[in-house]
Amino acid sequence: MDFGLTGDQANIREAILKHCARFSEDYWLDRDRAGDFPTDFYASMAEAGWLGVAMPEGVGGAGLGITEAAIMMQAVAEAGGGMTAASAIHGPVFSLEPIALFGTEEQQQRMIPPVLSGAEKICFAVTEPNTGLDTTKLKTRAERRDGGYLVNGEKIWITNAHVADRMMLLARTTPLEAVSKKTDGLSLFFTKLDRAHIEHRIIPKMGRHAVGSNMLFINDLFIPEEDRIGAEGQGFRIILKGLNPERVLLAAEAVGIGRLAIKLAARYARERIVFDRPIGMNQGIQHPLAKCWMQLEAANLMVMKAATLFDKGEDCGVEANAGKYLAAESAFEACHTAMLTLGGMGYAQEYHVERLLREVLIPRTAPVSPHMILNFIAEKVLELPKSY
């Protein structure tokens, strides 16, 4: 049992922290205020080869695992960019997994390298306005036509769709009432985001303004058959393969945000003088920050355990969900505690913790709510009756 990073993993962390130091906390505040996608940051990560950290070497990736990807994404968030920096590159790092695992050799060579090089941006179009986590009831239809499919439907909360060139799309190819199992009849596509047939609308939201969330309205979009990933009707099973690593990466990013918040708060507490002494001398300041540090580091152990199990090919559903829950909850408390440490200045944008508090609500809520994780743990670990 080894709780430390390997030499190579430590080098990845240090390299990412050094790379991201080129983009200061003020850079991310400016992006947040303007709502502009961090194009130069994205391009720098692509140029340095980091977008392919978990992709096979045969398509231009580094051939490493989800553990190394988690270490990288955690450092990206921790270096100052928070959820904005992580979300800007989360798609390329994670969302190409279905192609790497289920795509043909031709698809892998055609689809993956342009994304890893930064030539194309992608989005992941699964969720819909009225289905929530009940993915089997997706309404977007992909109907058979000569040489492909004609797609109509709506998607919501699609990150970076406004800047994307390609999208990973889950759509129903067989009506729900015509399948024997409700998980059948969904198909996965990776195709051009054709704006002649897809309208996007930015969703005004609380935080992470530089990485847009979108509604998509798809009208008679033709997708050639060669853009379907895996067999027709098997898209749900393909998507399932990516649920645990997605939770791991979001959890790692949450830990990174929490670490950054504690660092900023501790720095302020050392420098802020009230009644002729730094406020960091007061245990009322020290103890909450120390508690948050311990909670974050404990959560991180579960996150990295889940990542390690996944890379070993072992079941990690319990650990991935538990890690995501623990990381998000402890990161939220860390960001809130950081704001309280700064007092009134914690509410000021120039000190950055209010931005982190807004952004940490994303991993706390998505891609699965804390309530659903509690349901999962109760059922799978405690063997209690399914509650939904």
pLDDT in tens, 135-190: 889 999 999 999 999 999 999 999 999 999 999 999 999 999 999 999 999 999 99
pLDDT at 134: 82
DSSP β-bridge partners for residue 124: 168
State what percent of residues in the chain have pLDDT above 90. Answer: 95
The token duo for 49 is 């080869």
Helix (H, G, I), strand (E, B) or coil at 157: strand
Helix (H, G, I), strand (E, B) or coil at 162: coil
pLDDT at 250: 97
pLDDT at 174: 96
pLDDT exceeds cutoff 90 at 340 = yes
Beta strands in the chain (DSSP E): 122-125, 141-145, 148-159, 166-172, 186-192, 198-202, 213-224, 228-229, 273-274, 277-278
Sign of the Cα torsion 316, 366, 293, 28 reads positive
Q: Which of 102, 150, 158, 104 shows the shortest CA–CA distance to 128?
A: 158
Mean pLDDT across the stretch 337-366?
97
pLDDT exceeds cutoff 90 at 207 = yes
Mean pLDDT across the stretch 75-84?
98
pLDDT exceeds cutoff 90 at 369 = yes
Mean pLDDT across the stretch 19-39?
97
pLDDT exceeds cutoff 90 at 212 = yes
Q: Share the mean pLDDT of the chain.
A: 96
pLDDT at 131: 87
What residues contact 74, with CB distance under 8 A and at least 6 apart? 13, 252, 253, 255, 256, 300
Mean pLDDT across the stretch 40-47?
98
pLDDT at 81: 97
100 neighbors 59 (Cβ within 8 angstroms): yes
Split at pLDDT 50, 70, 90, the class of 94 is confident
114 prior amide bond cis, ω within 30: no
pLDDT at 254: 98
Which domains does the chain carry? 7-116 (1.10.540.10), 122-239 (2.40.110.10), 241-380 (1.20.140.10)
Distance CA 126, CA 140 (A): 9
pLDDT at 132: 78
Q: Which amino acid is at 304?
A: M
pLDDT exceeds cutoff 90 at 352 = yes
Mean pLDDT across the stretch 337-344?
98
Mean pLDDT across the stretch 230-259?
96
Mean pLDDT across the stretch 22-37?
97
Q: Model-level pTM?
A: 0.96
pLDDT exceeds cutoff 90 at 130 = no
pLDDT at 52: 96
Mean pLDDT across the stretch 271-289?
97
Split at pLDDT 50, 70, 90, the class of 70 is very high
pLDDT at 255: 98
